[in-house]
Amino acid sequence: MKALPKTRSSQTASLPKAPESRGPASPCRVALVGFGTVGRSVAKILCASPEGPLRLTQICNRNVERKKQPWVPKDVLWTEDFHAVLDSAADIVVELIGGLHPAGDLVRDALKAGKSVVTANKQLIARDGPDLLQLARACSCRLEFGASVAGGVPVLPALRTGLCGDRLHGISGILNGTCNYILSRIESARIPFSEALEEAQARGYAEADASEDLDGGDARAKLAILALAGLQTRVAPETIRARTIRGVDALDFDYAAELGCTIRQISRADLKHDILFAEVGPSLVPAASPFGRVQRNLNLVVTSGLYAGDMAFLGPGAGGDPTAVAVVSDLMFVAESLSAGVRSHWPQQFLEPKISCDFETPWYLRFLVRDRPGIIARLAEILSDHELNIDAVLQKPGFAKAALPFVITLEPCRDSQLHPALEKMAALDFCIKPCLCLPILP
């Protein structure tokens, strides 16, 4: 659903009065905007419990006549006009159309109309979440987005309630099921990257153009939301470095196995004073670690706190039903808050740290060269010039000298220290292409 009537965001509107607390016997009226895969699942859950605390009153979608379903109660109003939703008695608007436009204006108009909002829109929350939360507070409304990261995995509600007593300083995760499926298939079947991608597309795990997944755009938007919710920081997704998984091949899993590791797309954020170290990209992780054991299209989020230590959340990161469960859970939380007259739990201001990708870790460097004497010596000379220490050199037999792969692992060093050396090595005449450089995480 992309085209809806013009919204009112550009019009002058005074902020509404705080809504009255609802009695426990009065169900919250819910208007659903977007009736795609997730929207249908949300409607089914709501319609299956007509006596519960939530009552579906409206469904808004384009081409609405073709969307109507016999299992939806007859008193539910179907409409193509979002203004009808704004003018209705709905207490909560569920936005499930996705994207920035017109979704952003719809959410703003709903909040200005005094209606709380539940959304699964990761791009909108990653970009405008702090401003929308402040608008919701000003309008005495609630804005919840638990389904915007990791689908049915309740990590955002846990950050909102179960972990709010801790002081979190780090969040890391496998946040993109498409990448995890591809990498775990290369690992298990030792197939080329291209074949694993085609398989993911055939199974519906990857779009025809999977660039947003493969190149890290999807995961860094989710990481920005996790940093907002868990670390209370304002982070523009584009300020987080994203590295592609396209260069990873079956051979890298062979070398990783020799190091007791495997390879996953890892998103990580670590808040230290006024600097947020953050990045998304393929990394070596211990094969026996929680990240190393996650297979296929599952998601995993690990939070690190000052008092409670590490907490892990595992589950399906996509799909209509798991995401719908997260949406309905947010609806129930908002309904309970409105009934009790509870104000927003979000802070009035968010931290705005400097964003850096200058992590200090060991590194995995996989080269592809035209073999000749002196290659290791020349690479070692460059690494030494940049004060980088070699930990190990790995080379498997049986490869043609015209395209010979081998691996150098480095002792811990900072990203900023390593990359000038990588640029110099990439220009060497025996290098067929720049080396694959992956951090080795503990």
Quickly list DSSP for 313-381.
EEEE---HHHHHHHHHHHHHHHHHHHHHTPPP-S-SS-B-PEEE---EEEEEEEEEE---TTHHHHHHH
Q: What does the pLDDT read at residue 10? A: 44
pLDDT over threshold 80, residue 48 = yes
Which position has the higher pLDDT, 8 or 80? 80
**Ranges of CATH 3.40.50.720 domains, the chain:** 28-151+321-340
Q: Which H/E stretch holds residue 3?
A: none
β-strand 309-316 against 298-305: which pairing, if any? antiparallel
pLDDT over threshold 70, residue 300 = yes
Token pair belonging to 196:
């694993």
Which of the four CATH numbers 3.40.50.460, 3.40.50.150, 3.40.50.720, 3.40.50.800 does domain 28-151+321-340 have?
Answer: 3.40.50.720
Domain covering 360-439 in this structure, CATH number: 3.30.70.260
Q: What does the pLDDT read at residue 347? A: 79
* CA gap 94, 16 in Å, rounded: 19
Q: What does the pLDDT read at residue 25? A: 61
Confidence label for 317 from pLDDT (cuts 50, 70 and 90): confident
**Ranges of CATH 3.30.360.10 domains, the chain:** 164-316
Residue 396 designated active-site = no
Q: With respect to CATH, is domain 164-316 assigned 3.40.630.30?
A: no
Report the length, in residues, of the chain.
442
Confidence label for 319 from pLDDT (cuts 50, 70 and 90): confident
The structure's pTM equals 0.91
Q: What does the pLDDT read at residue 95? A: 98
Query: pLDDT exceeding 70 applies to what percent of the chain?
Result: 94
Confidence label for 22 from pLDDT (cuts 50, 70 and 90): low
Q: What does the pLDDT read at residue 51? A: 84
* CA gap 266, 285 in Å, rounded: 9
Q: What does the pLDDT read at residue 353? A: 96
Q: What does the pLDDT read at residue 11? A: 44
Which position has the higher pLDDT, 161 or 194? 194
Average pLDDT over residues 351-369: 97
Sign for the CA dihedral angle at 159, 290, 204, 214 comes to positive
Confidence label for 19 from pLDDT (cuts 50, 70 and 90): very low
Give residues with Cβ within 8 angstroms of 318, minimum separation 6.
Answer: 151, 177, 297
Please identify which of the residues 44, 222, 354, 401 carries the catalytic annotation. 222
Confidence label for 1 from pLDDT (cuts 50, 70 and 90): very low
pLDDT over threshold 80, residue 308 = yes
Which position has the higher pLDDT, 157 or 91? 91
* CA gap 378, 366 in Å, rounded: 15
pLDDT tens-digit profile of 204-262? 889 999 999 999 999 999 999 999 999 999 999 999 999 999 999 999 999 999 999 99
Q: Which H/E stretch holds residue 19?
A: none
**Where is average pLDDT lowest: 159-168, 363-372, 415-424?**
159-168
Which position has the higher pLDDT, 245 or 5? 245
Q: What does the pLDDT read at residue 161? A: 82
Q: Are 213 and 267 in contact (CB under 8 A)?
A: no
Give residue for tokens 């000052």.
Answer: 306
pLDDT tens-digit profile of 374-389? 999 999 999 999 999 9
SS3 11: coil
Give residues with Cβ within 8 angstroms of 409, minimum separation 6.
Answer: 259, 362, 363, 364, 365, 390, 391, 392, 393, 394, 440
Partners of 58 in the β-ladder: 31, 77
Confidence label for 3 from pLDDT (cuts 50, 70 and 90): very low
pLDDT over threshold 70, residue 17 = no
**Ranges of CATH 3.30.70.260 domains, the chain:** 360-439
The chain-wide mean pLDDT, for the chain, equals: 92
pLDDT over threshold 90, residue 76 = yes
